[in-house]
Chains A and B, each alone.
Chain A
Amino acid sequence: MKDHRTSISRRRLLQAAGGLGGLGLVGGLVPTAVWAADTLSIGFIYVGPKDDFGYNQAHAEGAAAIAAMDGTKIYEQEGVPETLEVQKVMESMINFDRTQMLFPTSFGYYDPHIKKIAPKYPDVKFLHAGGLYEEGDPENASSYFGYIDEAQYVAGTVAGHMTQTKKLGFVAAKPIPQVLRNINAYTLAARKVDPEITTQVIFTGDWAMPVKEAEATNSLVNQGVDVITCHVDSPKVVSQTAAERGAYVTGYHVDQSPLAPQQYLTGAEWNWGEIYPRFVKWQKAGKDWPHLYRGGLKDGFVKTSDYGPAVTDAARKAGDEAIAYFMSGEGVIYKGELKDNRGNVVIPAGQEREQTDIQLEKMDYLVEGVIGSTSA
């Protein structure tokens, strides 16, 4: 806090002329932050609260890792919707805080917002979470993403060993490819343990619907489900409700074990604290990085939570084997013959779809063993 205030007063002195001049209409932009030349200013933009036990917190952990590096200064803004607002926030960070790198972290920030603003500021690097970069997009933009379905595969393996009722539950926001990949990977892993296992999925319709999430969790437990996971912005409500009802929980986004200490098995987590500092090091070294930068467990993009106390030795061993499978670089989740839950063959026998396969990003099916439907 202290250095904030001194920087403000210093800035105020500097800006007295520029900002106030001519009611600001003619006032040019005056450097607002006075840092040593080698200090890198970096902006982070979140769509929700940055301590939500979920999506935003995962990114804030990456921001904290950067803040801990020498010669960096971070600026964070939360609660920024995917509207014109985010365009103006990016520009405001560039204009007022002289940020040289921006991390607009919500999926919907990319198109049209980053695509519109990035060309105006060619010296600023725009790093977006979501893996959306396409040929022809602005040079100074890039999009990174993690194959978190690998971590979900590990969690599904553990869940498959732990379930008594052979029924897993998945509370999901919307039937979009990223979500379907997680549901399918989770189910495939569990059914590898025992082909009788099914996953019941319930879509709540939006990313943050606490009452509906609680309702869906209860509904799943009532149907006999005994291990529950989710893909919503904040897994807090689902984790707490499931644990209260006596079901096991596998987490998502970040570690939710504090919310369900006894019932937490493991979880699929982002590992931005590992990835984000890489970008900063490259930037400082003047190195370029790929416009599309992706990876899974092996590359440190994602990780799994520590096993909870309830996890049996057999489940633990199977989980570790699944991790090793992906760490070897040989791990493939989606292999033929793969059927969807309506009986259609979606991957023919003998074919494998590796994580980089573009087809996976268009996934529109639920695999055999998932109870639920992708239609809205």
Chain B
Amino acid sequence: MTSHPGLRLAAESVVLILATFAATALLFALFVAAAGAPPTGVFYDIYLGAFGSWFSWQNTLTRAAPFMLAALCTALPARLGLLVIGNEGALVIGGVAAAAAGISLNGVAPLAVQVGMFVAAAVAGGLWIAGALALRHYRGVNETISTLLLNYLAIALLLWLVGGPLHDPASLNKPSTPSIGSANMLGDMPGMSVHWGLAYGVIACALLFVLFRYTTFGFAARIIGGNVRAAQLNGLAVARITLIVGFLAGAAAGVAGMVEVAAVHGRANESLVAGYGYVGILVAFLARQNLAMIVPVAILLGGIEASGGLLQRHFELPDATTTVLQGTLFMLLLASESLRGRIFPIRVQEAN
């Protein structure tokens, strides 16, 4: 065994993750076998559908893009020790705001429209979550429950807006906002059929990683996350930092909504409510709220989702199969936290 505590901790993380994956794979194999499908064939199809060809990679990366942005909505407040699950609501609000901006800016140069949609989505999503964290900070309203409720309110607001004030009379059979115009769409990145949302996701994760790792702001956030009282005693602007973190978190999810509008649908409608926000929570926890880990974890989950169709078509497994796999992985990973510090036992003082 290594003697350096940092290395030991890192080694332990790797062992825990691998053990969790192995246990999940074993349980899942038993599960699909019980359902009458051959586990080796199922695993091969998961590999094939997720990473087995260039098409599969593009499929996986496209799905991973919104997961990255949505995951930030949980992972950033987690730096402060807060648990936000309002990802879906912030995404929806961001999408609506982007569509509204796109429509009202119609006629301007496409780049300006895109910037306008980006800003509108980030501000709307940002205020949405910052509001919840303001309630938390100033009135002690639990942020987990309030953001859960905000999800429902956001969806109701979306349905009302696309059926009423923002309704496009031409969208007869699926109530939607008017189109933002095909010239203003984001399109795919060069050389692949993956939209620009992926770049947004990777860049956002990288920038925020740097912000939280290497700046005074990030250091202050860590202190608040460690102990709010101590942070206040040290004269840190807890309120300001909390609100900024909430804004950044909501902005990330809001931009995910903007990508849905500007790269996929071209308008806002009920298809914005696709559950990406809830997968984002899962991604954040699987990444252990580590901003650098969000990208690979999102790609992994994107891969699992990309392969779901093959399991249905080739083994007649239900569409919920991948949900079972995700749920099992999530639970085992959380349970594995309790083994932390026990695999390569070290003294507590040393570890800290």
Q: Please give the residue numbers on chain A whose beta carbons come within 8 Å of chain B beta carbons, in ascending order.
A: 1, 4-5, 7-9, 12, 15, 18-20, 23-29, 75-85, 88-89, 91-93, 95-97, 107-108, 112, 120, 130, 174, 176-178, 205-206, 361-362, 376
Contact between B173 and A177 (Cβ–Cβ < 8 Å)?
yes
B214 CB-CB contact with A under 8 Å:
no
Contact A178 B173, CB 8 Å, known A77-B313, A81-B271, A376-B160 = yes
Name the prevailing secondary structure of the A interface residues.
helix
- Residues of chain B touching chain A, judged by Cβ–Cβ distance below 8 Å, are 36, 38, 41, 44-45, 47-49, 51-57, 59, 62-63, 159-160, 163-164, 167, 172-175, 193, 260, 264-266, 270-271, 274, 306, 309-310, 312-316, 319-320
Contact B62 A19 (CB under 8 A): no
The complex places the Cα of A21 from the Cα of B309 at a distance, in Å, of 23
Find chain A residues with CB under 8 A from B316 CB. Answer: 1, 4
Q: Which residue of the partner chain, among A12, A75, A83, A120, contacts B41 with CB atoms under 8 Å? A: A12
Contact partner, B265, options A12, A19, A92, A112, Cβ 8 Å = A112
- What 18 additional pairs, Cβ within 8 angstroms, besides A8-B314, A93-B309? A1-B36, A5-B41, A19-B47, A20-B52, A24-B57, A28-B53, A29-B53, A88-B306, A89-B309, A93-B313, A95-B53, A108-B174, A108-B271, A112-B265, A112-B266, A176-B172, A176-B173, A376-B167
A-B contact pairs, 15 of them (CB 8 A): A18-B53, A24-B53, A27-B54, A78-B312, A80-B309, A82-B174, A84-B62, A85-B63, A88-B59, A92-B309, A92-B310, A107-B173, A108-B271, A112-B264, A120-B193
Interface of B is mostly: helix
Can you name the residue of chain A whose Cβ is closest to the Cβ of B270? A206
Chain A residues closer than 8 Å to B173, beta-carbon distance = 107, 130, 176-178
The interface residues of chain B lying within 8 Å CB-to-CB of A97 are 313
Find the A residue at minimum CB distance from B44. A12
Contacts of A5 in B (CB 8 A): 38, 41
Q: Which residues of A contact B163 (CB under 8 A)?
A: 376
Q: Is B274 in contact with A83, judged by CB distance below 8 angstroms? A: yes
Quick one: which of A26, A95, A107, A130 contacts B55, CB cutoff 8 A? A95
Ranked 8 nearest A-B pairs via Cβ: A376-B163, A79-B319, A19-B52, A75-B313, A176-B173, A83-B274, A8-B41, A24-B52
A312 to chain B, nearest CB (A): 36
> Is A96's CB under 8 angstroms from B175's CB?
no
**A96 to B310, alpha carbons, bound, how many Å?**
8
Residues in A whose Cβ lies below 8 Å from that of B41 = 5, 8-9, 12
**Shortest Cβ gap from A194 to chain B (Å):** 32
Most central of A9, A15, A24, A95 by chain B CB within 10 Å = A24
Contacts of B314 in A (CB 8 A): 4, 7-8
- A82-B271, A107-B173, A176-B172 in contact; A96/B48 too (CB < 8 A)? yes
